[in-house]
Amino acid sequence: MREAHFSWGEARYFDLWTIVHILSAVTIGMIISLGDFSSLMGYVVAILLIIGWEVIEYLVYIVSKGKRMFEAIENRLLDILLGVGIFSLAYHNTIMLDFEKKILLLVPVLFLNILFAFFGWLHYHQAHVE
C-alpha cells in the first residue's frame, strides 16, 4: 500500500477519498452553522457523524469478509482528525455569516462533495462489484 496517491485506490494516508472526507467536513460545518446549535452541540454532532462514517466503512469491510476496499488504520485516523479540524474551520468561518451567504457558499461545496463522492463510488463499484 502506497503512502499517498491521487487515485481512488486506498493509500496509507492520502488518496482521492481524502478529498471527499474534507468536502464532507466542510459541508457538515456549513450545515451545522445554519442551525441554532451551541458550539458544543455542533461539535458533538459533527464528531459523531465523522466517526460514525468511519465505523460504517469498517463494518462494510467486515461484513464483506474482506472483499471490499481495505482502509489502513492510519487513513481512518487521518480521516477523523482532518474531518474534525476541517469541520472546525468551516463552522467557525461561516457561523458569523448571514443565511444567504451561507447558502451561497454551501451550494457549490455540496455540489463538489456529491460529485467527488459519485466518482469515487463509480470507481469503487467498477472495481469491487461483480
- pLDDT tens digits for the chain (130 residues)? 566 566 666 666 677 888 999 999 999 999 999 998 899 999 999 999 999 998 988 887 777 666 666 677 888 899 999 999 999 999 999 999 999 999 999 999 999 999 999 998 888 777 766 5
Which is it for the CA torsion 35, 36, 42, 44, positive or negative? negative
* pLDDT of amino acid 13: 67
* Pair 75, 10: CB distance under 8 Å: yes
pTM of full prediction above 0.75: yes
Instruction: Quickly count helices (H) and strands (E) in the chain.
Output: 4, 0
* pLDDT of amino acid 102: 96
* pLDDT of amino acid 68: 62
Q: Which residues of 63-73 are buried (b: 16+ CB within 10 A; e: fewer)?
A: eeeeebbebee
Q: Which residue has the cell 457523524?
A: 49
* pLDDT of amino acid 39: 93
How many angstroms separate the CA atoms of 69 and 127, rounded? 9
